[in-house]
Structure 1
Amino acid sequence: MRARYDGLAEWYDERFGADAPPHQPGLLELLGTGSGPCLDIGCGTGRNFDSIRASGRSVVGLDFSIDQLRRARMRTDGPLLHGDAAALPFADGSFDTAITLWTSTDVDDFGAVLREAARVLRPGGVFVTYGVHPCFNGPHVVYEDDGRRIVHPTYRQTGWHTDMPWWAEDGIRRRIGMSHLTLADYLNAVIRSGLVVEHFEEPAGYDIPHALAVRARKL
């Protein structure tokens, strides 16, 4: 099966990584300091590898797009694996830390991704998920030039959306679409993973939250 991001890696890197700050807002604080390998689930082109290293950990990246992994190789000499985030190719309890960033909108079953992350963590292991805010960033939301956002009553229409009239012609969503979870679905997926939530964050950068992040731990 062809990965949704295949053929877009160079464009994606230039669009979202070229002028981006070295660390996404709040990510280092959510990770905290640590050591050993950190699994980056859905690592894409490796945008967050510097944050993993800055926390004291080493990078293990996994993505379903070989095209994205080729770009990620430019950012690490550590292990990079081609694989499915909902069926991780690792034994139970393989990692002390795992992260997944901006993946909830790109996978068919985000709950399965979270359960797999929990499975491969050791007891006491840290997990961070960081991505689209279900309330204020999704197929139901229109971004206005003055900073306002218009939320349409399609918020409860979950699942895969292939087109919305307000999506930019040159944007990522026109190219691959977008999966949507309600806030309740998102939070329940975290709870059902079996991980214990330690902290919720709406990272800075927008007056209206753009992202939602969670730090959790495996007991």
Structure 2
Amino acid sequence: MNDPPVNNDRGRARYDGIAAWYDGIAQGSMVESEQALTDLLGPGTGLCLDLGCGTGLYFDTIRRTGRTPIGVDVSSDQLGLARQRSAFVVQGDASRLPFANDTFQTAAAIWISTDVDDFGAVGREVARTLQPGGLFVLFGVHPCFNGPCVESREDGARVVHPTYRVSARHHIARWWGRGGIRERVGGMWHIPLGELLNAIIDAGLRIAYVAEPREDPIPAVLALRAYKDTTCHQGSGPRQR
């Protein structure tokens, strides 16, 4: 069987053309992450926006918490598969959401921080479309120990290279395997931990809980829970004395 093509067409969504292949390889990560994500979300009701829902692999996880998932993604190919799992999906950009203010009780960003070019804009859109007091959960790549700056070694150790502070799309890293997801979608966006957390705070979301799920000796996943808090001002960096 031939490998699926690499998507080098800048006019298309990065996952168009490889949606079925990606759905297959992502199943294992979904199973491994399901319990931790369920715990992070906790029980709830109402509409849950699944940002960058891809093929809809996490719809059932969201449903089991009592919520109704509403998926949004830019890839028409991925949404074609997502519609087999739910009728409630919309094509759109997470940084320019096609929804009205105060629409959702919950929003979830699952494995998307490395795929969006402006996480700050995504955070602002989350805050805009969440109802006051609404819950936002982030579950994805740990910026410190998983990414283009991190080289995994056979003994389980990881080497963090100086490019950790380069917040940008990294198109290639010499330790990435051939034919993997990063090669097929043209790399990944890396955002350092401090910048990621400040993007959430600056959007007007109050971080209430941070975790490093799973039992890996060196965590590969970062998770957090935040709330839209209209009683506090948006963050603006360090205060001047």
Normalising by structure 1, what TM-score? 0.95
CA deviation after TM superposition for structure 1 residue 20, in Å: 4.2
Shift of 1:24: 2.8
Mapped to 2, the partners of 1:11 and 1:144 lie a distance apart of: 26
Cα distance, 1:19 vs structure 2: 7.3
SS in 2 for 1:62: strand
Q: Distance in 2 between matches of 1:169 and 1:196?
A: 40
Alignment partner, residue 181 of structure 2: 172
CA deviation digits over 1:25-69, x for unaligned, max 9? 421111111111111010011111111101001111000001111
Q: CA deviation at 1:153?
A: 1.5
- Please point out which of 55, 63, 66 is paired with 2:73: 63
Give the CA deviation at 1:205: 3.9
* CA drift at 1:13: 0.9
The 8 Å contact of residues 23 and 51 in structure 1, kept in 2 or not, is answered as no
Corresponding position: 1:5 with 2:18: no
CA distance in 1, matches of 2:44, 2:131: 14
Q: Which runs of 4+ in 1 moved over 3 A?
A: none
* Residue number in structure 2 paired with 1:204: 214
Deviations 1:63-120 (A, max 9, x none): 000111111112223x110000000001100010110111111111011101101110
Distance 2:202 2:137 in 1: 15
**Retained in 1: the 8 A contact 2:213–2:223?**
yes
What is aligned with 2:8? none
CA distance in 2, matches of 1:91, 1:71: 25
Give the letter for the 2:135 counterpart: V
Hey, what does 2:57 align to over in structure 1? 47
Alignment counterpart, residue 43 of structure 2, candidates 27, 33, 42: 33
- What amino acid is the match of 2:79? L
Matching residue of 1:74: 84
1:145 Cα deviation from its structure 2 partner: 2.8
- Aligned-pair identity in percent equals 53
Distance 1:81 1:44 in 2: 11
Report SS of the residue matched to 2:24: helix
Residues 14-29 of structure 1 aligned to structure 2 (within 5 Å): 14-17=24-27, 20-21=30-31, 23-29=33-39
Q: More displaced, 23-32 or 38-47?
A: 23-32
Distance 1:182 1:6 in 2: 27
Structure-1 residue corresponding to 2:161: 152
Amino acid at match of 2:194: A
SS of equivalent residue, structure 1 residue 188: helix
Alignment partner for residue 187 of structure 1, among 174, 189, 197?
Answer: 197
Larger gyration radius, structure 1 or structure 2: 2
Letter in 2 for 1:100: A
Indicate conservation of the 8 Å contact 1:23/1:48, yes or no.
no
What is the letter of the counterpart of residue 91 of structure 1? A
Partner of 1:89: 98
The one-letter code sitting in structure 2 at the alignment partner of 1:37 is: L
Equivalent pairs, count: 218
C-alpha distance in structure 2 between counterparts of 1:32 and 1:20, whole Å:
17
2:42 alignment partner AA: G
Are the aligned partners of 1:42 and 1:100 in contact in 2 as well (CA < 8 Å)? yes
**1:172-201 C-alpha deviation (Å, 9 max, x unpaired):** 111121111111111111111101111001
Q: Among residues 115, 121, 132, which one is paired with 2:130 in the alignment?
A: 121
